Structure 1
Amino acid sequence: MRLDTVIMNEQFAYEILNWHYEPPYDFYNSDPSPEGMKELLENTYVVLVDENGNLVGFYCKGPAAQVPAGREFKAYPEGFIDIGLGMNPKLTGRGFGKEFFSFILNDISLEHPGCTFRLTVAAFNLRAITLYRKEGFKEICRFQSGFIEYIVMTRISSSSMSKKYKD
């Protein structure tokens, strides 16, 4: 599958807000609302489409990628690029995760060479955690928000590591 990025617009935002995942991933379901639409349109969300322009997923970076409760637990110190992502539920569990996630990491790395990535994932989402670990992410902390436990993971880029050892 060939992926490309496009700017978030109302049509894509509406489609994303209407995605419905199967349990236990239904935790990620949203209801279309003015607040949800505002979140997607006014923050750092980027849409990923396939070669036919079909919506494959999205990613965001910065504070929009953080779970607000994590800030209370001091889970987000400075010096990282936070990333959040979502894949079209029609494509999940079909072996596209590595290609999808690698594309996102590469796309962000073009704008932020040598960055250290950080992401937050629900602890029950073993499918995503396995993918993140394969891509070099390591758990740095956990926190609880309501009934959900979250894991914060980071990956230091190889160019950041080389720079540290050269200094």
Structure 2
Amino acid sequence: MNDAIDISNWQYEDPYSFYNLDGSLESIDEIMNGTYYSVRNENNELMGFFCFGSSAQVPSGIEVGVYLGDNAVDIGLGLKPNLTGQGLGLSFLQSGLDFAKNKFKPRIIRLSVATFNQRAITVYTRAGFKLGTKFLHKGTEFAIMQYDVQ
């Protein structure tokens, strides 16, 4: 519960403030729904989170059918605001990919990213994700990125 409260109050600087939650009970409940996993470092400090399944999907993407497919798991992630931009993204993402491969045994790992977030897209591309379908959600363009599990 404490991790959910912390995560729901993280505040990113612009333009990444787009990802800020509001600390509300609704946000905390979402994080506590069983699809979110906290990530801690070797000192047991909260570093970030991963979420899977419908929690990692954007509502407008669901409406236009971009999440259909065989044996795919959707992944969402967040790195603590003061840890972003420090070169930790690729190793952080890799830990989530390893977890997803072991837990869900998917053929495809898929994520949604706001296309303005070139920093994240660069990390995802380096990890092996490929850009796919784009769609709009509340005026923001998103892209689906896909990782084929070997």
Q: TM > 0.5 between the two?
A: yes
The answer to whether residue 74 in structure 2 is matched with residue 89 in structure 1 is no
Match of 1:125 in 2: 117
Q: Per-residue CA shift, 1:7-49, capped at 9, x if unaligned?
A: xxx1001100111101100101111111101101013000000
- TM-score when normalising by structure 1: 0.86
The TM-score normalised by the length of structure 2 is 0.96
SS at match of 1:42: coil
Unaligned runs of 5+ in 1: 1-9, 159-167
Q: Separation in 2 of the partners of 1:81 and 1:114?
A: 6
Aligned to 1:134: 126
Q: Secondary structure of the residue that 1:127 maps to in structure 2?
A: helix
Match of 2:5 in 1: 14
Within 5 A, what are the aligned runs for 1:8-47? 10-47=1-38
Q: Which amino acid aligns with 1:97?
A: G
Shift of 1:114: 5.2
Which of 101, 122, 126 is 2:93 aligned to? Answer: 101
Percent identity reads 41
Within 2, Cα distance between the matches of 1:17 and 1:32?
5
Q: Which of 51, 54, 76 is matched with 2:42 structurally? A: 51
RMSD: 1.0
Counterpart CA distance in 2 for 1:25 and 1:140 is 22
Aligned equivalents of 2:76, 2:60: Cα separation in 1: 15
Conserved in 2, the CA contact under 8 Å of 1:116 and 1:155? yes
Number of paired residues?
149
Separation in 2, partners of 1:111, 1:32? 29
Instruction: Report which stretch shifted further, 86-95 or 69-78.
Output: 69-78
Instruction: Map Cα deviations across residues 110-165 of structure 1 (whole Å, 9 max, x no partner).
Output: 1233531000000100000011111111112000012210000111112xxxxxxx
Cα distance in 2, alignment partners of residues 114 and 31 from structure 1 = 32
- Rounded Cα–Cα distance in structure 2 between residues aligned with 1:122 and 1:17: 19
- The structure with the largest alpha-carbon Rg is 1
Q: Structure 2: where are the runs of 5+ without partners?
A: none
Moved over 4 A (4+): none
Distance 1:146 1:36 in 2: 18
Contact residue 9 and residue 23 of structure 2 kept, 8 A: yes
Pairwise CA distance, 1:52? 1.2
- Partner of 1:71 in structure 2? 62
Distance 1:43 1:65 in 2: 12
Contact 2:36-2:49 within 8 A present in 1 as well: yes
